[in-house]
Amino acid sequence: MNAKVSIIMGIYNCEKTLRESLESIRNQTYNNWELIMCDDGSTDNTYQIAIDYSKRDKRIKVIKNKKNMGLARTLNNCLEISTGQYIMRHDGDDIMVKDRIKKQVQFMQGHDCDVCGSAAYVFDEYGVWRIRRVSEFPDKNCLVTGSPFIHPTVIMKRESLMEVGGYSENPLTRQRLEDYDLWVKFFERGFILRNIADPLLYYREERDSYKRRKKKFRMAETKARLDACKRLNIPYFKWFFALKPLLAMITPNGIMAYYQRRKL
């Protein structure tokens, strides 16, 4: 049960939220962890805050990219110096539930899975406004319509993550799709993916964030889904559902707002 967990974080211009995020890690009921933060060219006080915390807690390490390189490269830089049996994701604007690490380590060891995520409380400056649910037993077909995980909730076996080569670094993954590509690689190799139904993270997201998703991202997301269909031999009749991002792109904001309210 006392396996070492390496928490990897790419940090970028998150000075307003980083302290609270780091305190949620330091206050965990599970103590055998290391935190590796890689600053991806922040222009605010993020890097200095991270350095200050590394001086206060020897479990915290901080590295820095010479220039902005994107999240995939940044997380791979963290992986290179990590030493834990398990690799856990976290972001500088999210908050861990107090026993998150303990529960996920217990789940990994009790179910012998390669990746474990969880549900999450979605919050903004006004408080929690929804609970984002996830399938407890995701399979490859879920990639047609979305992602099987909320990225910063996952914990992974180190050996499994290394077997798939870590995060892919290419123009498509730089479009905020580094996690989606990773799940495709896990499914390609037949790894076991699971989710915990309980929310173990406070995930920061604005209520109208869907309005800020640019056409370029919607098109990249559609391409990624269609590529996943091909790589995973998804039946052709399901490929139509991979076009959902394109439909969202051409749907008027008023209709999208109504759809979001219905989801809540």
Query: Across residues 26-50, what is the average pLDDT?
Result: 98
- Residue 258, pLDDT score: 42
> 28-37, 92-101, 108-117, 206-215 — which is least confidently predicted?
206-215
pLDDT tens-digit series, residues 156-201: 999 999 999 999 999 989 988 999 999 999 999 999 999 999 999 9
pLDDT tens-digit series, residues 55-84: 999 999 999 999 999 999 999 999 999 999
Query: Across residues 194-216, what is the average pLDDT?
Result: 84
Per DSSP, the residues of 182-232 read: HHHHHHHTT--EEEEEEEEEEEE--TTGGGG--HHHHHHHHHHHHHHHHHT
54 alpha carbon, distance to own chain's centre = 23
User: Which residues are bridge partners to 199 per DSSP?
Assistant: 119
pLDDT tens-digit series, residues 85-103: 999 999 999 999 999 999 9
Contact criterion met (CB below 8 Å) for 92 and 166: no
**Structure tokens belonging to residue 12:** 């970028």
Per DSSP, the residues of 143-179 read: GGTS-SS-GGG-EEEHHHHHHTTSS--STTGGGTTHH
Share of the chain above pLDDT 90, in %: 84
**Per-residue pLDDT at 256 exceeds 50:** no
Query: Across residues 204-210, what is the average pLDDT?
Result: 78
